[in-house]
Chain A
Amino acid sequence: MLRTNLTHITSEEDFSKQINDNENVMVCCGRMGPMCIPVYGIMEEIEPQYSNVKFFDLEFDAPHSHVIRNLPECRGFYGIPFTIYFKNGKVVKATSSIQSMEQVTSILDEQFK
């Protein structure tokens, strides 16, 4: 389990439920490593300001991480974390590796407002 203050995606079923029950979803799939921790930190920081978005993390080495790792949008990704933005259950944006606060908020503002 990732040691963050975010809500964790705990199974394949949980993943399907969250992306289908919520209009706007951001999932960061990573490990507790240097490229991932800053992204979790950004998500924790902005969660209160984006009440229209649900924020989740998902452990990269968990068996159910295939729901993110095998997405067609992640083909060509060779750096963690894989961060995916879903609108009504569909992928609208995907990024790999570390992202800055500005990069994350600009995607959220563009896709979910």
Chain B
Amino acid sequence: MDYDVIVIGGGAAGLTAGIYLSRAKVKTLILNEGTIGGQMVLTHEIANYPGVENVSGYELSNIMKKQAKSFGCEIKANLRVTNLQLQDEIKSVEVNSKDVYTANAVIIATGGKSRTLGVPGENIFKGKGISYCATCDGDFFQDKEIIVVGGGNSALEEAVSLTKYASKVTIVHQFDHFQAVEHAILEAQNNPKIDFIMESTISHFYGDEKLHEVDIKNLTTGEITPKEIDGVFVFIGYVPNTEKLKDTIRLNSFGEIIVNQNYETNIKGVFAAGDSIQKKYRQITTAVADGTIAALNVIEYVNIQKKELTEV
């Protein structure tokens, strides 16, 4: 056996699990497909993480990573998980189609990623007029006309912040009402630079070396209206990173992992934590709590396993 526990995912939940497991002398490996920190890294400024005043997501993830490593946790990042064998007593994870790591237990903390529209032209014009980060790319759109797609808090708040740069912002939303909190809706509605196109979505992006035009589809009538535009910001929520698990682990209809109160999945020895599990609120604090509880339960599970092996 290579490790007692393999944690798949190095965001807030995975790193927290790594801290707790390693501190309990449980030999732990964290495998992460992207940059350590997950969605946390995508946050410019975190102002509501208790005990830490105004920290960037990058800084907070680096602190968590350092903490985990200080207790002996091994961390491998920017890799690809190519195969998972979770059903057997000994779990194995294949990485980059060559290296295989084994463990008594696995914690899945694969988190989520920004949802994309998935329509023609989106991949072509990403970074060439289509953006998923207002604070990163907003200043490219000084005095230009842009669209914000979405109707939640992120969409409305970012639409307001983008009016610092853009001459006009049109919010395109699929429903006839917004999901955002009341004050965010009011702020957007009261902003003279913001217009709204409801019950609609973007169905096609067009351009040459950059984006020039979109098709806006009315979801009630099916009518498609072309619109010339300089940029589009997409804020339509997140999807869990669970595609590789769908044939193995029990997921709900949203693709979220179903766990019990001990954060165990339907497979013995496989636990899950963080944004990839079925839950209502997704915050760094809730991911940290998930990672803690999953780790404490895994410590108990691993110790029982070890004891049973010794007795045999």
Contact = CB atoms under 8 A, between A and B. Distances in A.
A36 B136 contact: yes
Interface in A66-113: 75-80, 95-98, 100-102
A32 B137 CA distance: 13
Given A33-B44, A42-B35, A101-B78, A78 B136 contact: no
B183 interface: no
B126 A37 contact: no
Given A34-B42, A41-B78, A78 B129 contact: yes
Chain A binding surface SS class: loop
Contacts of B57: 34
Contacts of B36: 41
Contacts of A97: 126-127, 131, 137
B131 to A, nearest CB: 5
B168 interface: no
**Which of B34, B36, B80, B231 has the most chain A CB atoms closer than 10 A to its own CB?**
B34
B116 interface: no
Contacts of B42: 34
Interface in B108-154: 126-133, 135-137, 140-141
A66 to B, nearest CB: 15
Contacts of A95: 127
Contact of B231 (A45, A78, A80, A98): A78
Contacts of A45: 77-78
B210 A33 contact: no
A84 to B, nearest CB: 13
Interface in B40-88: 41-44, 56-58, 77-80
A45 B80 CA distance: 13
Contacts of A100: 34
A35 B35 CA distance: 11
Contacts, number: 82
B30 to A, nearest CB: 14
**Which of A36, A37, A78, A101 has the most chain B CB atoms closer than 10 A to its own CB?**
A78
A103 B126 CA distance: 14
A38 B33 CA distance: 11
A76 B129 CA distance: 8
A51 B64 CA distance: 30
A77 B78 contact: no
Contact of B136 (A41, A76, A80, A101): A80
B149 to A, nearest CB: 16
Interface string A19-59: 00000000000011111111001100110000000000000
Contact of B41 (A34, A46, A76, A96): A34
A32 B152 CA distance: 26
A33 B136 contact: yes
Given A38-B34, A38-B41, A77 B136 contact: no
Nearest to B140: A78
Contacts of B243: none
Given A31-B136, A34-B57, A95-B127, A78 B210 contact: yes
Contacts of A36: 136
A37 B35 contact: yes
Contacts of B127: 77-79, 95-98
A32 B45 CA distance: 11
Contacts of A46: 78
13 contacts: A33-B44, A34-B133, A35-B132, A35-B136, A35-B137, A41-B35, A41-B36, A75-B209, A76-B128, A76-B208, A79-B130, A79-B131, A96-B128
Interface of A: 3, 31-38, 41-42, 45-46, 75-80, 95-98, 100-102
